């Protein structure tokens, strides 16, 4: 057996590293360079091993890694990072610029929400004041209605009494009996 033969562990390291690079949007060449350093081999040997033997065993994993890369790219675009902003090789960790951009966006969103909350609190205070004012106005109007209702009953009673007096006077003047 050759001293530099590829072992199962070597193939696993090659596959996992290459899949990670695919998933993260990096190149396979960068993966081969990383594996070459780890296994003390050349990048060309790693590339040859990947293409000649290992890749076929991981076709499903390659498809999933490419899908993850696509989802990550879409997520970054949704979060305000365009593919043009990304370096040629996407990094696993965020850069300080990305962290600061994210934090600034969060602070801006937080301040917007705080301002909206203050405005809503003012709106609630105004609505409560208006509710109290309308409630008091309703009580005053109900009191006026009650007073006017009492006055109407009094006037109506007086009017009926007056009509009774006028009717009796007319009967006396005309000499007609009251019950006729």
Which pLDDT tens digit goes with each residue over 108-155? Answer: 889 999 999 999 999 999 999 999 999 999 999 999 999 999 999 999
Is the Cβ–Cβ distance between 6 and 49 less than 8 Å? yes
- Asked, for residue 144, whether it belongs to a domain, the answer is no
How many domains does the chain divide into? Answer: 1
Checking if the pLDDT of 71 tops 60, the result is: yes
The whole domain housing 21 covers: 8-92
- Asked, for residue 56, whether it belongs to a domain, the answer is yes
- Asked, for residue 119, whether it belongs to a domain, the answer is no
Q: Please report how the helices 59-78 and 8-23 are oriented relative to each other, as an axis angle in degrees rounded to 10.
A: 30
Is the Cβ–Cβ distance between 89 and 54 less than 8 Å? no
Longest dimension (CA), the chain: 150
CA angle 162, 164, 170 (to 5 degrees): 100
- Asked, for residue 13, whether it belongs to a domain, the answer is yes
Is the Cβ–Cβ distance between 79 and 103 less than 8 Å? no
- Asked, for residue 120, whether it belongs to a domain, the answer is no
């Amino acid at each position: 057996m050759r001293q530099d033969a590829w072992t199962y562990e070597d193939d696993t390291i090659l596959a996992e590293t290459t899949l990670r690079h695919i998933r993260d949007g990096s190149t396979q060449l960068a993966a081969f360079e990383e594996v070459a350093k780890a296994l003390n081999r050349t990048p060309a040997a790693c590339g040859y091993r990947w293409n000649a033997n290992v890749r076929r065993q991981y076709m499903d994993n390659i498809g999933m890694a490419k899908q993850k890369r696509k989802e990550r790219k879409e997520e970054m675009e949704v979060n305000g990072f365009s593919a043009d902003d990304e370096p040629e090789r996407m990094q696993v960790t965020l850069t300080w610029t990305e962290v600061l951009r994210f934090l600034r966006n969060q602070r801006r969103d937080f301040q917007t929400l705080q301002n909206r909350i203050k405005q809503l609190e003012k709106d609630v205070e105004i609505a409560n004041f208006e509710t109290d004012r309308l409630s008091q106005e309703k009580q005053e109007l109900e009191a006026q209605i009650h007073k006017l209702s009492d006055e109407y009953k009094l006037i109506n009673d007086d009017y009926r009494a007056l009509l009774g007096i006028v009717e009796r006077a007319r009967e006396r003047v005309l000499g007609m009996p009251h019950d006729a």
